[in-house]
Amino acid sequence: MKVTVFGIGYVGLVQAAVMAEVGHEVVCVDIDQDKVNRLKQGHIPIFEPGLTPLVKSNYEAGRVDFTTDAAHGVAHGEVIFIAVGTPPDEDGAADLKYVLAVAETIATHMDSHKFVINKSTVPVGTADKVKAMMAHTLSYANKSMTFDVLSNPEFLKEGAAVNDCMRPDRIILGTDSESAEKKLRELYSPFNRNHDKIIVMDIRSAELTKYAANCMLATKISFMNEMSNLAEVFGADIENVRKGIGSDPRIGYQFIYPGCGYGGSCFPKDVQALARSASAAGYTARVLEAVEAVNYSQKEKLFEYIYKHFSGDLKGKTVALWGLSFKPNTDDMREASSRVLMEKLWAAGASVKAYDPEAMEETQRIYGSRDDLALMGTKEAALDGADFLVICTEWQSFRAPDFELIKQKLSMPLLFDGRNLFEPTLMMEYGLHYYAIGRGLSV
């Protein structure tokens, strides 16, 4: 099938690559000329396990191509995905300008029927806006082509995106058209062989399903972080509590890890966007507002521990920081907890020696060169000349470090762990002063 994808980001590029891999002919359109040029030269703009060989082999086989030529993209695909960003506007509501710009572009260039599939995360009612924009543009140009607009939200996880798209848990289709459902079933049939994963529903429910899923996951995290704060207040250990509640099958062990807050491009913005669109519709989403507020303060938690430990005297301190990306297996730094920490440390007069397996380039891009940030080639090098260590991201390679070396290299045997990677008793045996989240302020 001929498929066009507008937006070559985390969602669009991965989706395009897996579609090409199963034999569809895919054209990707982006407004970023540099990104398109680099992709054509084999440079994959994001780190995502398994993505580079997939994109390269399909590009070489001619099954996927990259362009900024929107007219060519629209002419190519009978199915056109919208996978552009929906960043927050000044109020935190989802900004639809990129989505609507693509809708207008499609209508401007189309000369036959198109199935327009929205994959971006968008507020309920956006499909109606896309339809209206397309209808208006067509009528302005005196064109009378027909089109279908569907909602097909994306559930991939950064860090596991290729696998998630190759073997999706579910494919949500929001449509009111039988022919559109048939077309999408055919498009997705290579990913739907084991059992039927396609759930068809009305468009508004599909749009809300995406927000509901992300908000539920964010709620689990903020709930556990609230419990970790209570564990500190009451002198309990959140890790015991976690295991205790996870053993209830109605709760389960998944996604109930306490930590230094959630980040990334999705949870913060989607919780905020749903709360804002609820309030615009006259409804106060109190749970969502609380989820957001808890996360906001949780991201400051590590700095609070550090600040208290040093009674606010951080001037001239050098901090070794392991982990910059918002979670492991990605180079994505959007809304990462490490950024809140670094910015607070800098404001307090400390400097940072940081290491991350994948996000160093992105950190450099965001912060440029500054005297109080050194990006180090290994996690051990980040310890050289540092006073203490902070861990912000739970990369696998941080889980069993050489504690003797850590102690030897740091000027103080002090470790702040934002992801609860280690046992406090073991840290005590190594002679490390250890702070973790919700495990007693320090041991």
Give the distance, in angstroms, between the CA of residue 48 and the centroid of all CA atoms in the same chain. 12
| Smallest separation (angstroms) from ligand NAD to the CB of 77 | 13
Between the alpha carbon of residue 71 and those of residues 106, 116, 170, the distances in Å are 8, 15, 32
Residues 415 and 101: their CA atoms lie apart, in Å, by 48
Task: Choose between 156 and 171: whose C-beta lies nearer to ligand NAD.
Answer: 156
Q: Which residues pair with 265 in a beta bridge?
A: none
How far apart are the C-alpha atoms of 415 and 396, rounded to whole Å? 17
Tell me the residue type at 156: L
CA distance 260 to 436: 9
Least spacing, CB of residue 94 vs ligand NAD, in Å: 7
Select 6 or 434, whichever has its Cβ closest to ligand NAD: 6
Is 313 annotated for ligand binding?
no
Confirm whether residue 255 is marked as ligand binding: yes
CB of 40 to ligand NAD, least distance (A): 15
How would you classify residue 417: left for phi > 0, otherwise alpha for psi between -120 and 50, otherwise beta?
Answer: beta
Determine if 174 is a binding residue for ligand NAD (CB under 6 A).
no
Residues 6+ apart with CB under 8 A from 293: none
CB of 360 vs ligand NAD, minimal distance in Å: 19
Q: Does residue 172 bind ligand NAD (CB under 6 A)?
A: no
Q: Does 81 bind ligand NAD (CB under 6 A)?
A: no
Residue 30 assigned ligand-binding role:
yes
φ and ψ at 313, to 5 degrees? -90, 85
Edge-to-edge strand list for the sheet holding 433-435: 373-375, 351-355, 318-322, 388-391, 414-417, 433-435
| Chain CA centroid to CA 235, Å | 33
The residue nearest ligand NAD at its CB is 9
Tokens of 416: 């702040």
> Could you say whether residue 394 binds ligand NAD (CB under 6 A)?
no
Binding ligand NAD (rule: CB under 6 A), the pick from 21, 48, 65, 158 is: 158
By the 10 Å C-beta count (0-12 exposed, 13-18 middle, 19+ buried), 88 is classed as middle
Residue 83 interacts with ligand NAD (CB under 6 A)? yes
Segment interacting with ligand NAD, rule: CB under 6 A, options 24-32, 125-133, 344-352, 373-381 = 24-32
Identify residues 240-279 at the interface with ligand NAD (CB under 6 A): 265-266
Choices 79-87, 110-118, 231-239, 282-290 (CB under 6 A): range interacting with ligand NAD: 79-87
Q: Which of 28, 165, 266, 392 is catalytic?
A: 266
| Whether 28 is catalytic | no
In the chain, the largest separation of any two C-alpha atoms, in whole Å, equals 78
Provide, for the chain, the percentages of residues in helix, strand and coil under a 3-state DSSP scheme, each rounded to the nearest 5. 45, 15, 40
| Binding-site annotation, residues for substrate | 155-158, 210, 255-259, 263, 327
Binding-site residue numbers are 30, 35, 86, 121, 155-158, 210, 255-259, 263, 269, 327, 334
Residues serving a catalytic function are 266
Q: Which residues bind ligand NAD (CB under 6 A)?
A: 6-12, 29-32, 35, 83-86, 98, 101-102, 120-121, 154, 156, 158, 265-266
